[in-house]
Amino acid sequence: MQQKPILWILFLCLSLSSFAQSKLEVKGKSPDLFLEHKVVAKETWYSVGRLYNLHPKEIAPFNSTDLNTGLKIGQLLKIPLVAGNFSQDERKESDEVLVPVYHQVAEGEWMYRVSVNHNKVALDKLEKWNGITRDQIRSGMQLIVGFLKVKRELSALAQQAVQSTAGKQPKVENQPKAPIEPPKEEKQVIATTQTPKSTTEKPAPVPVLKQQEPVAISGSVDYNGGFFRSQFRNGSKSANGQATIFRSTSGWKDGKYYALMDNVAVGTIVKIRHTGSNKVVYAKVLGQLSDIKENTGLAIRISNAAAAELGAGNGEARFSVEVQY
């Protein structure tokens, strides 16, 4: 009569060693999010179900098969993430724990797109769980996008659980570190109304203009193209289109101009020519254009000091530019 509990304990120990170091990486997009599980020796539909807190009747159809078909060692199963085993509000039953589920950021992907692809999880939650701000997201980062709910006593994955209390940031072991801060010249580039709460500076958030209105220019500058001119490397790519402005404290006294542009690596120096005045400035790319209505059809946003040197500060909401990089 003691054999079954002993066998279960041995299986749980083997599972613990198998999952000790692996992170759970989400696959797919809303509403069909899933994890991948590679079948090991002696696993059954029911043991896999216990591992991911999901009845095998939900797992088998998701893999276009049924419970009468046995599992094979090395077989790759898709484990659906549904309301019963996936939490993005940190709620769980008393006998459950929360295991972080990660998404690896793709090239050119920004926080808003990560949110949309993962059940439109709130941006502030993504920031809280990962200890970063939305403008710090970088290609290759692993971001927590939610939590797998597993039974504390039944799943080997429970060892990867986080400690979470309402209103506090979950404590995640081996949590990915925030990216290295950009050079000092990029700090506090964009004017904000918030005062940092700690002595550790963070890159200023990417500005979001809620209305498509002309942005006032608070003066004129002429730095012969700007501080970054000498760093420009003439590339083979160019883009023609509409530009507009974001407010920035940088550039007025030092000629350090900045820009927001899609599909261009952060830190790239771009050459911007105003097709109306034929004037040129050089700006460093700080990040992507946010996915909002006001940015539809835009090629680039530039700091208002850069626009002033281009002669684009005469009340025009948008102006035509040619960008080389």
List pLDDT tens digits, range 136-157.
999 999 999 999 999 998 898 9
SS3 48: helix
**H or E stretch at 96:** strand 96-104
From 268, 278, 259, 257, select the one nearest 322 (Cα to Cα): 278
d(Cα 138, Cα 179) in Å, to the nearest integer? 8
* Residue 183 DSSP code: P
Query: Coil, strand or helix: which one is 260?
Result: strand
Report whether 80 contacts 31 (CB < 8 A): no
Instruction: Give the H or E element holding residue 246.
Output: strand 238-246
Nearest CA-CA partner of 208 in 267, 305, 287, 264: 287
Closest listed residue to residue 159, CA positions, set 140, 139, 179, 173 = 173
Phi, psi of 246 (to 5 degrees): -125, 150
Residue with more model confidence, 3 or 42: 42
pLDDT of 289 reads 82
Mean pLDDT score across all residues of the chain? 79
pLDDT digits (tens, 9 = 90+) for 255-303: 999 999 988 888 899 999 999 889 999 999 988 887 777 788 899 999 9
In this predicted model, which residue has the larger pLDDT, 164 or 42? Answer: 42
Q: Kindly report the CA angle at 11 between 8 and 14, in degrees rounded to 5?
A: 155
Q: Which residue has the tokens 């072991």?
A: 173
Residue 112, burial from CB neighbour count under 10 angstroms (0-12, 13-18, 19+): middle
- Residue 9: CA count within 13 A, CB half-sphere: 5
268: nearest Cα among 252, 288, 248, 251: 288
143's tokens: 């971001």
pTM of this structure: 0.50
Pick from 162, 246, 172: nearest CA to 209: 246
Whether the predicted pLDDT of 3 surpasses 60: no
Residue 319 structure tokens: 């102006």
| pLDDT value, residue 221 | 78
Q: How confident is the model at residue 18 (pLDDT cuts 50, 70, 90)?
A: very low
Token pair listed for 274:
């105003």
Share of the chain above pLDDT 90, in %: 49
The amino acid that residue 217 corresponds to is I
Q: Could you tell me if 245 and 302 are in contact, meaning their C-beta atoms sit under 8 angstroms apart?
A: yes
| Model confidence pLDDT, tens digit, residues 51-62 | 999 999 999 999
Mean pLDDT of 116-134: 93
Assess contact for 257 and 245: CB atoms under 8 A.
no
Q: Who's near 186: CB < 8 A, 6+ residues apart?
A: 203, 258, 284, 286
What region does 64 belong to: left with phi over 0, alpha with psi -120 to 50, or beta?
A: left
* Structure confidence by residue, pLDDT tens digits, 62-97: 999 999 998 999 999 999 999 999 999 999 999 999
Reading the block at residue 74, the tokens are 């090395």
For 182, phi then psi, to 5°, come to: -65, 170
Is residue 279 classed exposed, middle or buried when 0-12, 13-18 and 19+ CB atoms within 10 A define those classes?
A: middle
Q: Is the pLDDT of residue 111 over 50?
A: yes
pLDDT in tens, 192-207: 444 444 444 444 444 4
DSSP-assigned letter for residue 250: S
The whole-number average pLDDT for the span 104-129 is 93
- CA gap 63, 44 in Å, rounded: 14
What H or E segment, with its residue span, contains residue 298? Answer: strand 298-303
